[in-house]
Amino acid sequence: AQSVAQPEDQVNVAEGNPLTVKCTYSVSGNPYLFWYVQYPNRGLQFLLKYITGDNLVKGSYGFEAEFNKSQTSFHLKKPSALVSDSALYFCAVRAQRGGSYIPTFGRGTSLIVHP
């Protein structure tokens, strides 16, 4: 079965410190991977994606993600966290379902950045 897992319900980090939000995936074929962010009472906003190419992908708001095929991981990172980064983060994989390709989301990780 094709799936994505976010092992941490919550990540706490101090402002200015580096942050990592973890994601692992299971999919047949080449993975198409995404990170989305959700601020309170808002829809999901696209951060970045990996389709092919460089394993380090840069996205919006200073975020980046590292694709690791051997570990089937796609962790989200930022060198220096901001309080305004506090939000809910979702990892997603494009998975085949019948004849279509459907985004499948993890359960989400709540990132809390402390001043």
Partner 1 sequence: NAGVTQTPKFQVLKTGQSMTLQCAQDMNHNSMYWYRQDPGMGLRLIYYSASEGTTDKGEVPNGYNVSRLNKREFSLRLESAAPSQTSVYFCASSETRDRVYGYTFGSGTRLTVV
Binding site for partner 1 (CB under 8 A): 9, 32, 34, 36, 41-46, 49, 51, 90, 92, 94, 97-108
Strand ranges in 22-105 using DSSP code E only, listed in sequence order? 24-26, 33-38, 44-50, 56-58, 64-68, 73-78, 87-97, 100-105
Q: Smaller CB distance to partner 1: residue 81 or 89? A: 89
Least distance (Å) from partner 1 to the CB of residue 31? 11
Least distance (Å) from partner 1 to the CB of residue 96? 9
Least distance (Å) from partner 1 to the CB of residue 84? 19
Q: With H, G, I as helix, E, B as strand and everything else as coil, classify residue 83.
A: helix
Distance, CA of 88 to CA of 35 (rounded, Å): 11
Distance, CA of 84 to CA of 71 (rounded, Å): 30
Are 62 and 16 contacting, i.e. CB atoms less than 8 angstroms apart?
no
Q: Smaller CB distance to partner 1: residue 34 or 74? A: 34
Q: Smaller CB distance to partner 1: residue 46 or 61? A: 46
Least distance (Å) from partner 1 to the CB of residue 34? 6
Q: Smaller CB distance to partner 1: residue 63 or 90? A: 90
